[in-house]
Amino acid sequence: MIAKSLKGRSAAMDPGIWSKLPPELLELILSFLPLKTLLNLRSTCKHFKSLVFSPSFISKYSSASLFSSFFLLSHPQCYSNFPLYDTIRGAWRKLALPLSFLPPSAAQFNLLSSCNGLFCFSLPSSSSFLVCNLLAKSSRSIQFPFFPFAFEMLTLVSTPHGYKIFLLCSKFSSNYAFVYDSKVHSWRQFDGFQPLLADNFHKEGASFNGSLYFATPEPFSVVCFDLENGKWENLDTEMPRELTFVRLVSNTDEGKLYMVGGIGRNGISRSMKLWEMGDGGNWVEVERLPELMCRKFMSVCYHNYEHVYCFWHQDMICVCCHTWPEILYCKVSRRTWHWIPKCPSIPDKWSCGFRWFSFVPDLYTLA
């Protein structure tokens, strides 16, 4: 009976019916569209363009959509094309950096940090940084505080009202910390930490409770820098014994701080462990890297731990080495360890300079 009544009807959507669809129901339906389709939808009419950026739609879309998330590889030979590993589909892709983002004078650029869908590049030829959201096609050029400007440990940090850029700079005979705040578009200068965190070349701070946390060289300890008032503090916490190297990483969504460290003697690691900062400020062991995987990782970095760095990516603590094109990661919720294999498009002659970043596209993060 129903089949007969529908048989004679046109397959076309009746505008008399669909035009009366309640706005909140339309928003809910559109929130399930793939991201690419949603971006194309903006150009169809003014209503859809304003809808996509409305607070109510942003809330629905962020909760309903399943974005892909990626590991992005930066290498001196990549230039503007970055290999991407899709962590949801388990497939390799490539990301081309649109040259329209770059100033005409930018003959060279280096990817330094990523956070919340944003990337931070340095543009040495124009004495500036470039923060951009490739998905939203937005960018901002930020001039160095002064020139010449030598810096290290640059860290891009997401804040409720934008983002901040932290870095250390050796100026004259002193060490200074600089913080850029996107809310006021200006730099602030603070005293640095003495002695210099020299063992942390190319490392970033771990964002935790409004501060950045760093591990010092031997004797190992943890210090933090308050991004608001610019004060340094030594953490009064007992470190595990027989550490050979220490790296910190944080889960900002759940407010957790982790420590990855090698265990051994005379600078030779025999094992690698993962700890979590407990409520009392003490380190609680979470997991140990299996022996065979530990042997591979230690052989990869040749016990030269200056090349080891870590970052957080959606329930994964990633442990990488500048001299190796693979990623070792721990799935924190399952407490299991895995390797992500080498990208097939990377030539075998590339022997160093590998730098991995977390990339979780976010349409609504503004540069």
Domains (range + CATH), the chain? 36-65 (no CATH), 66-366 (2.120.10.80)
Find out whether 120 and 133 touch, Cβ atoms under 8 Å.
no
Residue-wise pLDDT tens digits, 342-362: 998 888 888 788 999 999 888
Residue-wise pLDDT tens digits, 171-226: 666 789 999 999 999 999 998 876 656 555 558 999 999 999 999 888 899 999 99
Q: In this model, does residue 164 exceed pLDDT 80?
A: yes
Q: Please name the amino acid found at residue 155.
A: T
**CA atoms in the 13 A half-sphere facing the CB of 329:** 21
Residue-wise pLDDT tens digits, 14-46: 777 777 778 777 777 776 776 667 767 777 887
Residue-wise pLDDT tens digits, 222-266: 999 999 999 999 999 999 999 999 999 999 999 999 999 999 998
Largest CA distance in the chain: 89
Phi-psi region of 165 (alpha: psi -120 to 50; beta: other; left: phi over 0): beta
The chain-wide mean pLDDT, for the chain, equals 84
pLDDT at residue number 7: 47
Kindly report the number of other CB atoms within 10 A of residue 314's CB atom: 14
| CA 160 distance to own-chain centroid | 16
- What is the reported pTM? 0.82
Q: Please name the amino acid found at residue 362.
A: D
Residue-wise pLDDT tens digits, 47-71: 777 777 676 666 555 544 445 789 9
Q: In this model, does residue 9 exceed pLDDT 50?
A: no
Return d(Cα 358, Cα 67) in angstroms, integer. 13
Token readout for 160 is 């409720």
pLDDT at residue number 56: 65
Mean pLDDT to the nearest integer, 109-117: 91
Q: Please name the amino acid found at residue 72.
A: L
pLDDT at residue number 197: 60
Return d(Cα 96, Cα 114) in angstroms, integer. 16
Q: In this model, does residue 289 exceed pLDDT 80?
A: yes
Return d(Cα 346, Cα 126) in angstroms, integer. 30
